[in-house]
């Protein structure tokens, strides 16, 4: 499944490493793109990622990317680095007593907000060859849970008939069975458990009777130890101006029996302490929703989905009120909308009105907040703002239903 909003990733890694995919390009997201359980990758990508920590992670990604990239900060106590890791990982050792703590761990403009990063979802896939690919059915499991390693054959090159004539030799270092030889179609899968947390890999050798042999390296599985709970990643502003950019912080993470030691950001640039991140925008209506992979010193990793933000441009507003009364009134959708108001107002205040219509759901009721002032009513609701709010200013409208709004 093709993901479009910034991820190119499938990630695993905590005090270990992450496996990932994707280059991070801009594309239009779909519901199915809000993905998987996976920990974002450590590649140098400015992709944004929608990750559901309870499903699987990315496999292929396409989109157009912004120029920012995350950086990696490694704790002094950490000396190892996962092979192939890049500057998009940040690992912060938050405690001097923490263990190792290293995180080896469109051509045409789309309609609506444009993601500045993107991701896709499906089962992880390792390097393949003429036979197919192999990997765990679940990309992330808890210590002691069963891991089902599975071979996904390329039917055009390795048919089901060949599987009936094959011997499968699975090697799963650290597993309850480090090697298993299984004949015929049953060898397509091999089930093991792991007593140690962290990232574990597997290889598969296939011998076809009277035919060729194949060697595959499987995508890894992330085995979590002590759980990480309570994490939230919130945006400082869900509609930031392009002059400011997006900003997020992760808070509330706890891990009983272990210490939080790392933060890896995908789709944003980490701050110095790793607990925050920023993302620059180059135009209005760009979308960003990074993921932060939080790790502890028991080799657990949890992917935390951050708030989605959409950029605005104060110099190029989508909604403007430039005249008095009904002649200057404009339709404004339900939800939060920044509106540029530039109307010469006499008197002591600027009176903003919003008119809605009757429908079965709202029955003419309108709850609105304009410039921080709240008011509720039916059909026609007004609020008084300071007079300078209407003199060439951006004002935020929050409406419970679509309405036509203007300045009296």
Tell me: the pLDDT tens digits for 264-303?
Answer: 999 999 999 999 999 999 998 999 999 999 999 999 999 9
Cβ pair 185, 170 in contact under 8 A: no
- What fold is seen in the domain 320-407? Jelly Rolls (2.60.120)
Give the per-residue pLDDT at 331: 97
- Per the model's pLDDT, the better-predicted residue between 88 and 211 turns out to be 211
At 78 the pLDDT is: 31
Q: Quick check: 353 pLDDT over 90?
A: yes
pTM exceeding the 0.85 threshold for the entire prediction:
no
> What are 55's two structure tokens?
């499903």
Domain spans in the chain, listed from the N-terminal domain onward = 1-122+229-312, 132-219, 320-407
Task: Identify whether the C-beta of residue 387 lies closer than 8 Å to the C-beta of residue 320.
Answer: no
Q: Which pLDDT belongs to residue 227?
A: 96
Q: How far apart are CA 43 and CA 40, in angstroms?
A: 9
Angle at 22 between CA 37 and CA 79, to 5 degrees: 80
pLDDT of the residue at 30: 36
**CATH number belonging to domain 132-219:** 2.60.40.10
Q: Which residues contact 120 (CB under 8 A, 6 or more apart)?
A: 1, 2, 3, 4, 7, 8, 22, 33, 35, 58, 59, 60, 61
Spatial separation of the C-alpha atoms in residues 2 and 153, rounded to whole Å: 21
**What's the farthest any 2 CA atoms get from each other in the chain?**
94
**String of DSSP letters for 375-400:** EEEESEEEEEEEGGGGEEEEEEEEES
Residue pLDDT, tens place only, 209-266: 988 899 999 999 999 999 999 999 999 999 899 999 999 999 999 999 999 999 999 9
The confidence score (pLDDT) of residue 129 equals 62
Do 12 and 104 contact (CB within 8 A), yes or no? no
Beta bridge partners of 200: 221
DSSP 175: B
């Amino acid at each position: 499944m093709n993901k479009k909003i910034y991820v190119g990733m499938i990630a695993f890694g905590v005090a270990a490493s992450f496996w990932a995919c994707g280059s991070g390009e801009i594309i239009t997201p779909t519901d199915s793109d809000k993905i998987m359980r996976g920990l974002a990758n450590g590649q140098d990508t400015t992709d944004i990622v929608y990750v559901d920590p309870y499903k699987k992670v990315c496999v292929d990604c396409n989109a157009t990317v912004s120029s920012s990239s995350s950086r990696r900060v490694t704790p002094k106590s950490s000396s190892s680095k996962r092979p192939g890791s890049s500057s998009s990982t940040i690992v912060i050792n938050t405690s001097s007593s923490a263990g190792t703590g290293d995180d080896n761990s469109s051509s045409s403009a789309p309609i609506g907000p444009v993601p500045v990063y993107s991701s896709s979802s499906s089962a992880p896939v390792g390097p393949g060859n003429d036979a197919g690919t192999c990997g765990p059915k679940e990309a992330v499991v808890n210590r002691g849970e069963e891991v089902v390693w599975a071979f996904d054959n390329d039917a055009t090159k390795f048919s089901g008939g060949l599987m009936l004539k094959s011997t499968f030799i699975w090697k799963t270092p650290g597993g309850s069975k480090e090697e298993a030889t299984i004949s015929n179609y049953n060898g397509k899968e091999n089930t093991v458990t792991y007593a140690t947390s962290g990232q574990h890999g597997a290889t598969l050798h296939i011998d076809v009777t009277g035919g060729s042999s194949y060697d595959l390296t499987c995508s890894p599985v992330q085995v979590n130890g002590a759980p990480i709970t309570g994490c939230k990643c919130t945006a400082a502003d869900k509609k930031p101006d392009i002059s400011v950019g997006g900003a997020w912080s992760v808070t509330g993470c706890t891990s009983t029996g272990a210490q939080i030691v790392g933060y890896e950001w995908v789709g944003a640039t980490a701050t110095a302490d790793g607990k925050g991140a920023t993302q620059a925008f180059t135009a209005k209506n760009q979308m960003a929703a990074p993921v932060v992979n939080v790790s502890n010193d028991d080799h657990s990793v949890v992917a935390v989905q951050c708030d989605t933000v959409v950029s605005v441009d104060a110099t190029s507003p989508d909604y403007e009120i430039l005249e008095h009364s009904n002649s200057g009134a404009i339709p404004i959708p339900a939800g939060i909308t920044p509106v540029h108001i530039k109307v010469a107002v006499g008197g002591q205040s600027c009176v903003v009105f919003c008119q809605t219509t009757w429908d079965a759901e709202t029955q003419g009721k309108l709850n609105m907040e304009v410039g921080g002032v709240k008011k509720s009513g039916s059909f026609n609701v007004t609020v008084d703002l300071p007079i300078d709010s209407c003199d060439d200013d951006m004002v935020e409208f929050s409406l419970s239903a679509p309405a036509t709004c203007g300045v009296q």
